[in-house]
Structure 1
Amino acid sequence: MSNGHISPMERKCIIMTESTVKSYQNRIIQASKEQLLVITYELFIEEIMKALQALHEDKAEDFNRTMVKVHKLHRELTDNLDMSYPISRQLMSLYIYMNKKLIESSIKLEKEPLTEVKVLAEVLLEGFRKAATEESSESLVQNAQKVYAGLTYGKGTLNETVVNSIKDRGFKA
């Protein structure tokens, strides 16, 4: 970016980021607890890839900023383990190992430990995706409107349409 103007490439990145955020927002609103876990893993892996890219480009500041997000998402995964299941203890051990690798990567600015965590997370994601298709609990967000999006015949703009109208939206105390 120069002289306060946004280049076409930077504009494309901003639009892609906004559309990605909007997509995740819509998925989260309609997600069950199983689907939320899958979404968290997707975000975790996506942030790891951004951190790896920052290391590749030798951008330490971007790497550190992204690693803060990686650590927060990892913490979210760890905090949401249901320890009443035996497999959760095994997952906790794996999460502890992943945390050590994340810290190692953060301190040494090395991509090998981070790549190892990414590979482990991708394996877990596939397992949780399969489990999420077999489980079908209700959406955690009640009173949410369904939003469907599609390309219009205009200049490639994306329009959202609310299909069902809910009379009583919002939080209930």
Structure 2
Amino acid sequence: MTKELKQQYTLKITQANKTQLVVILYEMLLVYIEDAEKAHGNGDRSGFRSGIRKAEGCLRELMASLHFEYEPAMNLLQLYLYANRELAKADIRNSVEELQHVKMVMNKLHDAYEKLSEQDVSGPVMANTQTVYAGLTYGKNSLTESLADQGSNRGFRV
């Protein structure tokens, strides 16, 4: 994942509600799988393993966020465990075939949660974050970010 993409995800996370956070986790998982595939194509074994490890971290976070008082949670857990086994197989076998299986399942779940997030009208989880305005300025191809509300009353509050 590139530095710019990490910055984009950081900004998205600060402005996301609960459902959007799940969508972001799916997106990050898919990016890490793509990173692993690219590394495998370049013969970079450590990059391949790193991408898989980061994807597994996203899966662990998705599993930890399940609410088992709701019926679909057990089905989602089974899908996540399947994806975790496939990632482990890909790592052990140094193969990208298993990554395709994980991508197929996670793309479908991502699409479903994206539709759900459109219906979720709750506010952001992090309510007291800085407002960031970004855009191209008069400088040649430079991105300038302006921060507003930089008081001491910002960040995540419990």
TM-score (norm 1): 0.84
Gapped regions of structure 1 (runs ≥ 5): 1-15
Corresponding residue for 1:56?
Answer: 41
Whether 1:99 and 2:99 are equivalent positions in the alignment is no
For residues 132-171 of structure 1, what are the structure 2 equivalents within 5 Å? Answer: 132-164=117-149, 168-170=153-155
Q: C-alpha offsets along residues 112-154 of structure 1, whole Å, 9 cap, x if unaligned?
A: 1111101111111000000001012111112112212101121
Please say if residues 126 and 156 of structure 2, whose CA atoms lie closer than 8 Å, have aligned partners that are also in contact: no
Match of 2:129, SS state, is: coil
For residues 14-163 of structure 1, what are the structure 2 equivalents within 5 Å? Answer: 17-163=2-148
Please say if residues 47 and 66 of structure 1, whose CA atoms lie closer than 8 Å, have aligned partners that are also in contact: yes
TM-score (norm 2): 0.92
Segment drifting more, 130-139 vs 163-172: 163-172
Percent identity at matched positions?
34
In structure 2, how many angstroms separate the alpha carbons of the residues matched to 1:100 and 1:157? 43
Calculate the aligned-residue CA RMSD, in Å.
1.8
Q: 1:106 to 1:166 in 2, by over 3 A?
A: same
In structure 1, how many angstroms separate the alpha carbons of the residues matched to 2:79 and 2:34? 20
Gapped regions of structure 2 (runs ≥ 5): none
User: Number of residue pairs matched?
Assistant: 158
In structure 2, how many angstroms separate the alpha carbons of the residues matched to 1:88 and 1:172? 28
